[in-house]
Structure 1
């Protein structure tokens, strides 16, 4: 992952990203400009998912399996929803929400 000029990483956390029915494990880096999810190599679906903060329309809490309070949903302006499982979701939601106001 290459950072853009003057880009800074604020969070580097373990996370899962739902890709269809599969919960893909990996690392989520959150910078002042984007979210970058890179899957672990041993997943069925591998690769990197990048979401620009300027493209995010909504970020909100979600419960995994409708019960476990450990997830967030990112909905882009193109109406694509990304579902993550991670810890410290309140801090991450607050950070993304504040950054969204810059766009």
Structure 2
């Protein structure tokens, strides 16, 4: 992942699985002050990365895997897309994403004044 100018890493190397159809794609997450980036391991069938701009994320929610296991996280985009993950310490990760989005909004407000 190439960082953009003025982009900084907030947290990286977070183990996660992304549901793509029937495949639970294993990989690593990186959260920057601008993006949410998922890099699959090369052993998966589906190895294309997922890159989401934080400004395009409408909501980040808890979800249960298989309806009962409390280890899921769902990212809802403003365009209606949803991305479902299995992560460790999901509440912390959701809070981190929400805090980073809030800081991004504050930076935009400050820059426009």
TM-score relative to the length of structure 2: 0.85
SS, match of residue 45 in structure 1? coil
SS, match of residue 45 in structure 2? coil
The offset of 1:17, in angstroms, is 0.3
The offset of 1:35, in angstroms, is 0.6
Moved more, 36-45 or 90-99: 90-99
**Structure 1 residues 1-103: aligned runs within 5 Å:** 1-12=1-12, 13-101=14-102, 102=105
Deviations 1:10-55 (A, max 9, x none): 2220110000111000011111111110111111111110011000
Moved over 3 A (4+): none
SS, match of residue 63 in structure 2? strand
Moved more, 87-96 or 47-56: 87-96
Count of paired positions: 103
Q: Which segments of 5 or more consecutive residues in structure 2 lack a partner in the other structure?
A: 109-113
- Greater C-alpha radius of gyration: 2
Aligned partners of 1:11, 1:65: CA distance in 2, in Å? 27
Say which structure is richer in helix: 2
